[in-house]
Amino acid sequence: MVGILVVEDEIELAKSIAEIIRNKVKGVNIFEAHSILEAKTLMYKNKPDIVILDINLPDGRGTDLYKEYKEFYPEGVAIYLTAIDSDIEKLIAFELGADDYIVKPFNVNELTAKINNWVKRISKGSKDYIHVFSDYYFDKLTGNVLLYKDGFYHLVENLSYRESKIFEILLENVNKIVDVDFIKDRMDLSSSDLPSVVYHLRKKLSKIGNIRILTIKGGKLKLVINM
């Protein structure tokens, strides 16, 4: 999942932007902030891959937040989404290293097309790493759960092939209910084998914290991540 932080002080507009992206861009996890203070809290907690930010915010300028974000996460993508249609502001933004500058009122198709392109680039650049939450990642090729710290990926836990495949399916549907028949069909797994695999997966994921696999009535599973 590619993390996207939307920083917009108009609450309804922030919700609208987040909803548009959710509906039109696949493989993203959206966070909303309505001030620089809120944005910093979410930024350091979740390390978003993309930040979409306004310039004028109630407690400061988006350009200052941008600088801090780039210092914290140099590979991150910063997109200005602002009502300021000024050549000088655009020049300043791009000289600071902004990745894009979109003027309000914006075209929905243009916004989502640009974000889609960035999501694809980020996904390719991160190879087969899936962002779980905060600084935790999952390498679906090796089955390794990794913690990104001090510029390196550190091994937290290694999942077996079947554990890895179930975890990948649940990550694709995080915080959603998944029918076990769907999992069995994707994996060619028998009903008798599934409970044991899920049990061992739960045990390994317990080392991370903030992440649980719930069993829902009717033979369903749900991966819950508390951000």
In terms of DSSP H, where are the helices of 173-218? 180-187, 194-205
Q: Specify the range with the lowest mean pLDDT, choosing from 1-15, 24-38, 113-127.
A: 113-127
Strand partners, 149: 152
Confidence of residue 205 (pLDDT cuts 50, 70, 90): very high
Cis before residue 48, ω within 30 degrees of 0?
no
Predicted confidence (pLDDT) per residue in 87-144, tens digit = 888 888 877 778 889 999 998 988 998 898 888 878 766 556 788 888 888 877 678 8
Mean pLDDT within 180-186: 89
Q: Which domains does the chain have, with CATH numbers?
A: 2-125 (3.40.50.2300), 129-225 (1.10.10.10)
Q: Measured on CA atoms in the order 141, 143, 145, 151, is the torsion positive or negative? A: negative
Q: Inform me whether the pLDDT recorded for 182 exceeds 60.
A: yes
Contacts of 150 (CB under 8 A, 6+ apart): none
Choice between 86 and 188, residue whose per-residue pLDDT is larger: 86
Q: Is the pLDDT of residue 54 over 90?
A: yes
Confidence of residue 203 (pLDDT cuts 50, 70, 90): very high
Non-local (6+) Cβ contacts of 38 within 8 A are: 7
Mean pLDDT of 198-222: 91
